[in-house]
Amino acid sequence: MPQYPPLSDVPLPLLVTGIAGVAGYNAFRYYSEKYPGQVFGIRRDEYWPLSGEGIVGCDILDKEKLLALFQKHQFRSVVSGLGTCRLKSCELDPAMAHRVNVVGINNLIEAIQSLQHKVRLVQLSIDLVFSGDGNGDYVEEDVPDPVTIYGKTMVEAERLVTKYQPDASILRISLPMGISFSGHAGAIDWIQSRFKNDKPATLYYDEVRTPHYTDCLNRLIHWTLTNELPGLYHAGGPRRLSLYEIAQIVNRVGGYNPDNLKGCPRIDAGPMPPRAGNVSLNSQKLITRLGFEPFDPWPALPIFVPTDQEWHKRIDNTVKGSPELLESVLYNNPNEENYH
């Protein structure tokens, strides 16, 4: 279990962008609970159902509105989780992907620089800046070679932050595992939505990720905002899992029909959108800097880890799956109570 030292208060007020996504939504909830009335989140105007205290409809592409928001609140911390990650949409409309993921970041940087004081910035990037054509275990020095428009625009965003906000922290994350507002924004969401509606889901044997609980990511971001951590760091979880294995976990822990899970190599997925391979992240640089491993494995309990491709089909007493169990051990870190 991560051994965090006592966490200091982050510089306030705080802005979280991209709250329609899993990482941003969970970060916003985490900080809003800690600092009521001092945390703000922005989302596009069309996401109006996502509302509540501190939530502002402000498209990141509306530079004037964004600048006005920064002048009004004088933010001292920013957690940037913005970006469009819909792979197919980005492939079909590269200009849209560039506007949101690159121009949007540029607008955010300009807004930060419009203030007369230092602003702590944590920029969340992604493992899909790599192709995954090798054996994974990517380190920060590896040259990005994304196979998707999404990955390419995220590389551009990283370069903007590095150039114009050199004291910012850039965290390349993998699949953040936590709830989303919409119920379909995350990896668990999509897979579970198929199974609970008794529909098949096809996942890949050879797309490998390093997922992590949003509970752990929130705490890492908190540490980053209150300590000096400039530069680029890989922030992947300690357990490598293929998308097929992740779906096995969701299927069995959720108690769903095992016949609805299908598997295939990514070469059989078709050309649209392109699929990355083993993009597992080596986070040793971050661990060395912190002095401890910041993530619990996902899932936290070894009993929920597949041992073979038929694991989810076994009916025994080791895992009695249900949607309630899934929520308690996959969306939420069961070790969380030990942190309080």
Relative to beta strand 77-80, strand 55-57 is: unpaired
| pLDDT over 60 (residue 158) | yes
pLDDT tens, residue by residue, 199-255: 999 999 999 999 999 999 999 999 999 998 999 999 999 999 999 999 999 999 999
State how far the alpha carbon of 249 is from the alpha carbons of 53, 229, 256, 258, 329, in Å. Answer: 35, 34, 10, 11, 11
CA distance 182 to 60: 20
Supply the pLDDT for residue 182. 72
CA distance 166 to 177: 29
Phi/psi of residue 208, each to 5°?
A: -115, 135
Question: Average per-residue pLDDT in the chain?
Answer: 92
In a domain, 1, yes or no: no
- Confidence tier at 92 by pLDDT (50, 70, 90): confident
Identify which of 117, 118, 122 has the alpha carbon closest to the alpha carbon of residue 161: 122
> Domain total for the chain?
1
- Confidence tier at 318 by pLDDT (50, 70, 90): confident
Prior bond to 6 cis, omega within 30? no
In a domain, 146, yes or no: yes
Q: Which domain holds residue 186?
A: 14-335
Supply the pLDDT for residue 185. 72
Supply the pLDDT for residue 339. 53
In this prediction the pTM is 0.94
Which residues face 71 on adjacent strands?
none
Identify which of 193, 220, 179 has the alpha carbon closest to the alpha carbon of residue 5: 220
Identify which of 218, 247, 234 has the alpha carbon closest to the alpha carbon of residue 79: 218
| pLDDT over 90 (residue 183) | no
Which residues face 123 on adjacent strands?
80, 170
Prior bond to 273 cis, omega within 30? yes
pLDDT tens, residue by residue, 17-47: 999 899 999 999 999 999 999 999 998 887 6
In a domain, 8, yes or no: no
Supply the pLDDT for residue 1. 62
Is 319:273 a contact under the CB 8 Å cutoff? no
In a domain, 220, yes or no: yes
In a domain, 184, yes or no: yes
- CATH code of 151's domain: 3.40.50.720
In a domain, 208, yes or no: yes
Prior bond to 211 cis, omega within 30? no
What value does the mean pLDDT take over residues 282-288?
98
In a domain, 157, yes or no: yes
In a domain, 9, yes or no: no
| pLDDT over 50 (residue 340) | no
